[in-house]
């Protein structure tokens, strides 16, 4: 305060130490601006910012410097025009669909392999307003074109790598199909990350991330982000943010921004671990199928070449147990000592989940089976631990869930078995 002499202690307690001038040096890391509002010397300054005639921040629902730094960073690595961050990946996806100006009678053509909660959002929230969702196989471009011609969608929605079966979307081809009927293409790039693929470069209009996953990478922050290819989508995405209010906290933004800085290092290690682990598991007598993009052939291999800008194939492996039952899956999961039973992906540690009771729990058993998600299907999100420890832990758990074949022995040792036994 300019003149604290004529105020009471109660007032001093409120204002003491606040509104100090910013120091001369710039902070090396973006500070956490833990404030809901911003004050100005003159009311005219607020008026100019709210009107759009000056830059600045007035209220954190409309913008916060820490959140803006995270948005700018993600925008840069995804080669977008701008980005807005939201409180979760689902909030970001909701905003992206709102930005597509869907109205009663609009059709969303969605990849049949989407994350279960994405379908719940489409059917429950958007369906209540008369917006129709049609599922299609995006890996069959001829069938997709027929579905587009028949349904005349306003939006096509897909994932770069589908959850959990890792089907690869040929984004460039799908974008051409979408734009031929003036539809927008929205791509969830959570599993691939900009380290492996930049969908906007391939023709997508909006890219969505659950930043909770690989962008953050440390299991300590929840958030989402939408990156747009064109400036004309800014008002709609900003409106979805400020009016629906699903804003990202500056604390979460700080954690996510810090995590993003090591995305390249983490993904390099995780992709390397996943590829080597996939080759090990491919020979396991306890598994009937190992799904990993490097093993794809035919149209999926072509899509992989067209979509990914490197020779790495992601950090997720999906396997099917030879005993394809929920009981065997549970025995496997409960036998893990190093790998975690975690429903998320992208963290530093290896997490394994049972899609039938987690990511796709909302779907009927018949629908899950039609998609290829059986009771013995498991999704492995590979972390940065020592590969030998990951592989040994998984193999030991596989033996536990297939007791009849317990005589089979592996020569893959823990690097530190005693330490591993004490982890969980």
Enumerate the active-site residues. Answer: 61, 115, 188, 213
Taking Cα atoms as reference points, which of 150, 111, 154 lies closest to residue 129? 154
Q: What CA–CA distances, in Å, run from 159 to 163, 256, 408, 416?
A: 8, 21, 38, 38
Measured distance CA(138)–CA(145) in Å, rounded? 9
Pairing mode, strands 377-381 and 351-353: antiparallel
3-state helix, strand, coil in the chain (%, to 5): 45, 15, 40
296: alpha, beta or left? (left if phi > 0; alpha if psi -120 to 50): beta
Who contacts 422 (Cβ-Cβ below 8 Å, separation ≥6)? none
Measured distance CA(320)–CA(236) in Å, rounded? 42
Measured distance CA(227)–CA(206) in Å, rounded? 6
Who contacts 316 (Cβ-Cβ below 8 Å, separation ≥6)? 161, 164, 166, 191, 274, 345, 379, 380, 381, 382
Q: What CA–CA distances, in Å, run from 376 to 324, 368, 402, 405?
A: 4, 12, 12, 17
203 DSSP assignment? T
Measured distance CA(224)–CA(253) in Å, rounded? 10
Taking Cα atoms as reference points, which of 293, 303, 306, 297 lies closest to residue 141? 303
207: alpha, beta or left? (left if phi > 0; alpha if psi -120 to 50): beta
Residue with tokens 């810090």: 258
């Amino acid at each position: 305060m300019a003149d604290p002499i004529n105020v009471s202690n109660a007032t001093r307690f409120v204002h003491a130490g606040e509104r100090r001038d910013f120091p001369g040096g710039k902070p090396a890391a973006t500070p956490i601006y833990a404030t809901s509002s911003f004050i100005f010397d003159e009311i005219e300054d607020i008026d100019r910012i709210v009107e759009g005639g000056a830059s600045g921040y007035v209220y954190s629902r409309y913008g916060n410097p820490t959140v803006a730094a995270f948005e700018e960073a993600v925008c840069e690595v995804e080669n977008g025009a701008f980005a807005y961050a939201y409180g979760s990946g689902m909030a970001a996806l909701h905003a992206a669909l709102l930005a597509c100006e869907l109205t009663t009678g609009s059709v969303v053509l969605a990849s049949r392999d989407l994350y279960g909660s994405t379908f719940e959002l489409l059917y429950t929230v958007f369906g209540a307003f008369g917006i129709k969702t049609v599922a299609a196989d995006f890996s069959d471009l001829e069938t997709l074109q027929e579905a587009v011609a028949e349904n005349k969608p306003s939006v096509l929605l897909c994932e770069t790598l589908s959850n959990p079966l890792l089907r690869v979307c040929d984004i460039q081809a799908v974008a051409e199909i979408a734009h031929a009927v003036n539809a927008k293409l929205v791509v969830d790039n959570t599993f691939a990350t900009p380290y492996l693929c930049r969908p906007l470069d391939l023709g997508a209009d909006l890219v969505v991330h659950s930043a909770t996953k690989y962008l953050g990478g440390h299991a300590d922050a929840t958030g989402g982000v939408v990156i747009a290819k064109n400036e004309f989508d800014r008002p709609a995405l900003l409106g979805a943010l400020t009016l629906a209010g699903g804003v990202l906290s500056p604390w979460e933004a700080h954690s996510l921004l810090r995590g993003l800085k090591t995305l390249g290092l983490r993904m390099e290690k995780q992709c390397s671990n996943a590829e080597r682990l996939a080759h090990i598991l491919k020979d396991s007598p306890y598994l009937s199928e190992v799904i990993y993009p490097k093993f794809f052939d035919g149209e999926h291999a072509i899509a992989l070449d067209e979509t990914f800008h490197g020779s790495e194939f992601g950090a997720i492996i999906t396997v099917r147990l030879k005993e394809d039952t929920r009981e065997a899956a549970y025995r496997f999961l409960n036998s893990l000592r190093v790998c975690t039973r975690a429903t998320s992906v992208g963290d530093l540690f290896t997490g394994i989940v049972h899609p039938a009771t987690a990511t796709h729990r909302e779907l009927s058993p018949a629908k899950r089976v039609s998609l290829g998600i059986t009771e013995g299907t498991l999704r492995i999100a590979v972390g940065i631990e020592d590969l030998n420890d990951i592989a040994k832990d998984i193999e030991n758990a596989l033996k536990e869930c297939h007791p009849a074949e317990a005589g089979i022995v592996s020569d893959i040792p823990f690097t530190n078995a005693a330490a591993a036994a004490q982890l969980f």
